[in-house]
Amino acid sequence: MELPRLMGVVNVTPDSFSDGGRWFAPDAAVAHGRELQAQGADILDIGGESTRPGATRPLVEEELGRVVPVITELAGSGATVSVDTMRAEVAEAAIAAGAAIVNDVSGGLADPRMYDVVAAAGCTYVAMHWRAHADHMRDFAVYDGPGGVVAAVRDELAARVDAMLAAGVRPDRIVLDPGLGFAKRPEHNWQLLHDLGPVRSLGFPLLVGASRKSFLGTLLASGGSPRPVGDREHANTALTVLLAQQGVWGLRVHDVLSAKDALRVLERLDLLDREGEEGRHD
C-alpha cells in the first residue's frame, strides 16, 4: 500500500479558523513548519490568505509579505513546500522562493494567469473544486442536478482539467481536490467522502482536506453547539485511515503527529498482509 503524503498546514494569517493567527509572525510560522516536518509532514503548505467562510481577502502585497519569507526559509532548509494561493503573482513569487507545489483552492478560476505560471514552472499543481470566494461561497452550495454534489464536483473538475491541459499544464503534475467545505454544506461533504470514485475516475491523484472543518464540528456537536475546532482531531484521524485505504495521494492536516501515527498503524498491518500473501505463494 502506498501511503498518502501528509501536507502539514502552516497558516501565516491573523484570522485562520483553525489557529486564530497563532503562526502569523514569520519566525513563528517557520518554527511551526519545522515542528510539523519533524513530526512527519511530507509537504509544508504555506498560506497567507484565510479561506474560512466569510473571510475577506488581503491585498496581494500583504499576501506576498506573509508567505515569501516563510517559504524562502523552509525551502532553503530542505523542506518540500507548497504555497496555498489563488493568485498567480503570489504563486510565481513562491516558486521563485523555492515552492515545489502550488495549491490553488480556486482551481484556476480566481486568476486567469495561474495556469500559465504553473505551466511555465512545470511544478505540481493542486486544483480544488471551487465556485466562489469565501465571503459569499455559501450562496453557491446548491447541487440539484442529476448525481448531486458528487457528479457536479466531478464534472466541474473535469472542466478545470481540460482548461489546464489546454494551457500547457503537464498531466503528470495535476492533483485534484474535491474541496470539502467550499460552497458545500455538511451533507455535501459526507456524500463526497462516501463516494470519491467518480472524482477518482478522472484519472488524477487526489488531495483531501477535512482537518478541523466545520462539518466535523457539526457531527460531534453536544448540546446544540459544534465541537470546538481544536477538539475535532479524533474524527479526522478516523478519516485519515479510511482515505488512506482508498488510495488518495495526499491529506492536508493540521495535526501531523496524529495522522502520522494512524498511517504507521495502517502500514504495519499492511506489512502483515503482504507477508501472509508471500507465505501462501512459497
- Residue by residue, DSSP assigns 145-210 as STTHHHHHHHHHHHHHHHHHHHTT--GGGEEEE--TTSS--HHHHHHHHH--HHHHTTSS-BEE--
Catalytic-residue membership of 252 = yes
pLDDT at position 230: 87
State the average pLDDT for the chain.
Answer: 94
Average pLDDT over residues 45-72: 92
- Is residue 16 very low, low, confident or very high in pLDDT (cuts 50, 70, 90)? low
Hey, what's the torsion of the CAs at 227, 137, 131, 59, to 10 degrees?
-100
Dihedral sign, CA of 224, 229, 231, 232? positive
Which helix (H) or strand (E) is 236 found in, with range? helix 233-245
pLDDT at position 206: 98
pLDDT for residue 88 is more than 90: yes
| Higher local confidence (pLDDT), 207 or 279 | 207
244 Cβ contact list (under 8 Å, min separation 6): 1, 3, 4, 251, 262, 263, 266
Place of cell 489546454: 166
- Is residue 11 very low, low, confident or very high in pLDDT (cuts 50, 70, 90)? very high
Q: pTM for this structure?
A: 0.93
Give residue 66's Cα distance to chain centre. 19
Confirm if 214 and 188 have CB atoms less than 8 A apart: no
- SS3 assignment for 13-75: CCCCCCCCCCCCCHHHHHHHHHHHHHHCCCEEEEECCCCCCCCCCCCHHHHHHHHHHHHHHHH
pLDDT at position 23: 80
Place of cell 462539518: 215
Catalytic-residue membership of 184 = no
- Annotated catalytic residue, options 131, 173, 252, 260: 252
Q: What length is written for the chain?
A: 282
pLDDT for residue 20 is more than 60: no
pLDDT at position 158: 98
- Annotated catalytic residue, options 154, 160, 173, 213: 213
pLDDT for residue 280 is more than 70: no
- Is residue 134 very low, low, confident or very high in pLDDT (cuts 50, 70, 90)? confident
pLDDT at position 52: 78
Confirm if 177 and 207 have CB atoms less than 8 A apart: yes
pLDDT at position 1: 81
